[in-house]
Chain A
Amino acid sequence: MKLVNRKASLQVNQNEGLIFEKSSSGKAAWKLPPLDVPDVDMSTLLGEAERKDLGNMPEVSEIEIIRHFTRLSTWNYAIDLGMYPLGSCTMKYNPRVNEAVARVEGIANGHPYQPEKISQGALQILKTLSECLIEITGMDAITMQPAAGAHGEMTGLLMVRAFHHAQGRPRKKVLIPDSAHGTNPATAAMVAYSVENLKSDSRGMVDIAALEAQMNEDVAALMLTNPNTLGVFEQEIHKIADILHAKGGLLYMDGANMNALVGKVRPGDFGVDVMHLNLHKTFSTPHGGGGPGSGPVAIKKKLEPFLPTPVLVAKPDGTLGFEYNRPQSVGRVRAFYGNFGMFVRALAYIQANGPDGLRQTTEDAVLNANYIRKGLEGTYDLPYSTPTMHEVVFSDKLQAKKGVRTMDIAKRLIDYGFHPYTTAFPLIVSGALMIEPTESESVEEMDLFIEAMKSIAEEVEENPQTVLDAPHSTRVSRLDETAAARKPVLRWKPA
């Protein structure tokens, strides 16, 4: 390592096999109370439906389970260990009070079908959070049902479809900028819209002339991420909205990057008709190794009749309840009411921040991204000089001359004690390094990151092989992904 590594040191960690390899007959970590009703004869009750054998399920003791998962956990990097600068993922601190309140008895154990009369607590949480999110986005109504961002996109586009259908002029396609997340085109396909690519201009923004040329009565919507995946605010957003609306199209906003806007500007005010939020990004609910998320969809009034059922309403007696009879609804997108546990956490986050805190969060997130941009400009190529919001995108152009690509730099960053940034995305930047620090990082942590990135750049010049072979300090070195895909081994089998 070029410099002394100030962020991390090597430490022994425990080896651990698969749980099945520790199993032996007779070990147990469970105990049931004595049965207080008459025992039953399984074969009489079930006949041929009775299961005789549970195959290779493990038998292990409690301490073995604790050690097993604790050992596995130590092989993970996490926000709790340090900066996790994945672009467009918003890896911010996950407050522990969120976890505490999500586990309060009546909240954790409420049954989705318990009578509304004894569900007022949960419904009040749903209502308060809905109101907060409507205010934050500047929209008119919201559905909390979608389970994640992509699910929200689908719900949003279903409403777009239903809207055009109700107008008596169904449309065929959606426009999607070339910088968009892969979920956008995949979602469009799921609701049977064809996808038309929209190119970006030299500033990394929507090419207004191209949009004007491509916009017509066949276009249902434009799916726009704002700030986009370059971390650039679409400065001509008013023109974009006008061009769409003039031809009867709708503006869909992917809210993945809402962490750049909360408290500073509201999508509803700049012409957005429908948008989803990611509570697991902007509103601090934990990513949990890939989920659960929550993808509420906020809409303008004209889309309200199409909201998924049920819709939360205040009843004449002042209590809250669900309304199911909505003839124009797109239908249900999920059983029950959504990932309620995430609503609890998101509301706790909003309460812990208040109006001032939410605004400052956004300011700090943007400030941090600009600090990193300033710190690494010159060391890494900055393909777009347009002002940066909450994330900054560099390219590996300078390092590629030595045969080192963004993924190699990312892997080397692991040795310096950081999680890599997002690699090779957005697609419009060749060899992208997409960095989003979030508001959670202190200047000290960011200085360490900048120092590590600069040190790697020097290594690329002096000893590129070190970087190409990275990581050097992990339990396993680079894994053979090609072999994994060619001959998939997707489960353990006894030898």
Chain B
Amino acid sequence: MLKAIGLRSIDDLFAPIPAEYRLTRDLKVPRQMAESEIVDYFRQRSRENGEGYTSFLGAGAYAHYRPVIIDSLISRGEFLTAYTPYQAEISQGTLQSIFEFQTMISELTGMEVANASMYDGSTAAAEAVMMAVRLTGRRSVVVARSLHPEYREVLATYATHQGMPLSTVGFNENGQVNLAELEKSITSETACVLIQSPNFFGTIEDVVAVAEIAHKHGAMLVVSIAEAVSLGIIEPPRQADVIAMEAQSFGVPLGFGGPYCGVIATREKFVRQMPGRLAGQTVDKQGRRGFVLTLATREQHIRREKATSNICTNQALVALMVNIFMTVYGKVGLKELAKQNLAKTAYAATRFAQHGQVLFGGSPRFNEFVMVTSEDPYAINGRLLGHKVVGGLPLKKFYPELGNAALWCCTELTTRGAIDTAVGLVAESERSVRSGKEESDVAEVAR
């Protein structure tokens, strides 16, 4: 090949790089490994990573069963190793799948249109807020304190340089947005109110009431949904103007936090301010149905600095997992699945309430609940770990005002046995704390 090009050595190809910058040594990276060694390396890391633990963690990342056909289908090279479907004639598979994804997300959220995906629930929420800012011409934003704390942090990062003042509205003793406080926080400059439902505590918000207050003041309502399975049994926030969702629950592995699948859904009249890719239906020269990426004049590759967002690469393959999951469970299965989540959590909350204080019982919840214990939840969790159980997420870091609170989650995969075991361990530790016994064998966990 070198001869064909008319060169003597490979080094000639790199002549354009000034000699003083050329690397003349080996990179200090691990030596080349055989496939068997690579597999072995990751198996070892896996063993150091919570393999074999029963977990009660949720908080924006949920352990649901993943039907096996998801991985067999997404492993097809034609999906796995294709690029963004810009060349529509040889990308109809991806395009039709996105069109079906958009349809099902619209159906489930009660919205009219949905995009092809965003990075995750947190960035989807931030982008949805920026969309409301563009649509209303107003700049300030009211954010519920019961929105996922990390979503709030991401929004704060995005808002810093956009000149978007953020204010926070608290929650009441039912765990829902404090409506009186909300009423007071909205001004004629408020572009939108951003809430989450089910919220970070698992509590279902009174979306109708929140929407009424927001709309009365000419503000939009953006609702974040972090637990997609809730849509099977919980009425979607139809009164919202924009929904920003995290669809990880629909067949996406926990994967230590990513890749996940954000989505934005909204009303048709707002679509031209929506960020992200959209597949649309059209016809070819012979009048046959086909699909293309459309409304690209919103996007960076056409509009550059005037685009609705800088997003380019999205979460396409993860959206395909979500699409297959929604297809597998469908109209009936999603409902039954959601019901099991609800039943398991109701059982767990009732059992735990005999030993700890379960908060926010005055309003409906989905598959998470907050429990306050006498003992520091980090200490309880340290003890549970010894029994290969990961307890609820201690909330001190995010909500110091809730004291020894932790957020517990049950899904269809949480067995009654696991719940009973955890309840037993918590009961034991609560008893020992109340009896004032010294604890010496508690291994504090880092967080």
Contacts and interface: CB of A to CB of B under 8 A. Distances in A.
Nearest to B61: A112
A99 interface: yes
B331 A57 contact: yes
Given A58-B327, A106-B46, A332-B154, A186 B82 contact: no
A38 interface: yes
A122 B284 CA distance: 48
Contacts of B231: 51
Contact of B320 (A40, A289, A354): A289
B282 A334 contact: no
A363 B328 contact: no
A121 B97 contact: no
B163 interface: yes
Given A115-B381, A490-B102, 7 more contacts: A79-B81, A122-B45, A189-B307, A287-B81, A336-B61, A355-B31, A490-B99
12 contacts: A29-B333, A32-B336, A33-B412, A37-B416, A91-B81, A151-B119, A190-B310, A289-B320, A335-B60, A335-B120, A387-B15, A491-B106
A169 interface: no
B186 interface: no
Contacts of B45: 104, 106-107, 121-122, 124-125
B29 A109 contact: no
Given A37-B416, A101-B39, A265-B17, A480 B22 contact: no
Interface residues on B, range: 35 or more
B402 to A, nearest CB: 16
B50 A29 contact: no
B194 interface: no
A59 B75 contact: no
A167 interface: no
Contacts of A100: 39
Nearest to A157: B161
Nearest to A227: B16
Q: Which 9 A-B pairs have the closest CB atoms?
A: A288-B317, A354-B32, A336-B257, A80-B77, A121-B49, A106-B46, A112-B257, A290-B316, A121-B48
Contacts, number: 668
Contact of A94 (B80, B90, B157, B280): B80
A219 to B, nearest CB: 16
A320 to B, nearest CB: 10
Contacts of A475: 89, 92, 288, 290
B364 A104 contact: no
Contacts of B46: 104-107, 121
Interface residues on A, range: 35 or more
Interface stretch (B2-10, B138-146, B177-185): B2-10
A403 to B, nearest CB: 18
B431 interface: no
A185 B306 CA distance: 8
A355 B284 contact: no
Interface in A303-359: 308-309, 315, 319, 321, 324, 330-342, 344, 348, 350-359
A78 B27 contact: no
Interface in B36-54: 37-39, 41-51, 53
A122 B14 contact: no
Contacts of B150: 332, 335-336
A117 B358 CA distance: 27
A332 B295 CA distance: 30
A119 B92 contact: no
Interface in B139-171: 148, 150-151, 153-154, 156-158, 160-163
B390 interface: yes
Nearest to B150: A335
Contact of A111 (B285, B324, B390): B390
Given A49-B234, A490-B278, A480 B32 contact: no
Given A38-B343, A38-B347, A73 B160 contact: no
Nearest to B43: A104
B27 A263 contact: yes
B196 interface: no
A397 B90 CA distance: 26
A192 B161 contact: yes
Contact of B279 (A269, A339, A490): A490
A47 B132 CA distance: 31
B326 interface: yes
B30 A128 contact: yes
Contact of A151 (B116, B123, B162, B268): B123
A490 B280 contact: yes
Contacts of A97: 35, 38-39
Contacts of A270: 18, 21
Contact of A335 (B122, B271, B331): B122
A106 B100 CA distance: 32
A86 B61 contact: no
Contact of B16 (A105, A183, A387): A387
Given A38-B347, A264-B23, A479-B292, A290 B309 contact: no
